[in-house]
Structure 1
């Protein structure tokens, strides 16, 4: 990495942890840069056979690619890993919000929510093919919007998202799972 001292200061990892992460990163990406196709290939290894991770990996890649240049540096990778594994609940929720806010305009629309929920269904091997699956996704999005869109304006702001998620015990538990991974 460009500056091990700087990364140790900004990320929530020790110098040894960063070195270990870097070795793994360089093994997968010898150039030190990850393009989206490579990222999708690596990401797909984490999901069961038959599950389609491509679309979800695309959204994750875009939320990690902080400078929107189409590639991930080691520093971008570590910054996001630091948030997901060692960040506060609010930081993790902000990251999740950025994942759902596909166009980056500061709010989540029903269409964006539908795209992410569909990608999650595909990731879990539940490919929405027929009308029944499409209806299930639509109903899921409607329920989420009913719960999160406090002022009923058809979009979810970061504040609405964080407020709803921090009050929901099941969401808090699912976020806490990341705390034990590394």
Structure 2
């Protein structure tokens, strides 16, 4: 039986679509192929790799949400192209591009809105990933408090959901949110 292998798009095309140089793309591809010889990453492999970075906590749920944000075509696997396009936005994109990517991460069901339930699921997964024994210690109601504060700032028209426009506009005007965005960049 031959194994199906995914061949990435041409380097020139990826270089045009991303903020990476040819050498950087080649280096990223070597690392990707080393971890995922088939050229595709399924969710379980992604969780295993990602969890290695957070041994003090449980990163599986956050890794699930992150996987879905990278899995652009929603086929259950991440191609090198998907990975490198997302990474380019996160590392070298404009503030607006990064905020759009973050919105996509938080919008779990991809309906164009962030609900309190979605935000709570993400926040809880981040707190779980960071570990219960962090310093200063995290209270059990911290994710809920975080979500309440988030919605007070973001949900401008008080309709119970946050749109992409509310999200981007509020984030760009709020220094604390922009600082926490930097924090989330480190998590990714």
Asked if Structure 1 and Structure 2 have the same fold, meaning a TM-score greater than 0.5 normalized by the shorter chain, the answer is: yes
Task: Give 1:28-177 correspondences, 5 Å limit.
Answer: 28-47=35-54, 49-126=55-132, 133-175=139-181
In structure 1, runs of 5+ residues without a counterpart are: none
User: Cα–Cα, structure 1 residues 179 and 72, in superposed 2: closer, same or farther, change >3 Å?
Assistant: closer
Give the match's secondary structure for 1:46.
coil
User: Cα–Cα, structure 1 residues 102 and 178, in superposed 2: closer, same or farther, change >3 Å?
Assistant: closer
Q: RMSD over aligned Cα, in angstroms?
A: 2.0
| Aligned residues between the structures | 175
In structure 2, runs of 5+ residues without a counterpart are: 1-7
What TM-score does the superposition give when structure 1 sets the normalisation length? 0.90
User: Cα–Cα, structure 1 residues 146 and 175, in superposed 2: closer, same or farther, change >3 Å?
Assistant: closer
User: Cα–Cα, structure 1 residues 107 and 164, in superposed 2: closer, same or farther, change >3 Å?
Assistant: same
In 2: Cα distance, 1:18 partner to 1:154 partner: 41
Greater alpha carbon shift after TM alignment, 31-40 vs 170-179: 170-179
In 1: Cα distance, 2:145 partner to 2:120 partner: 10
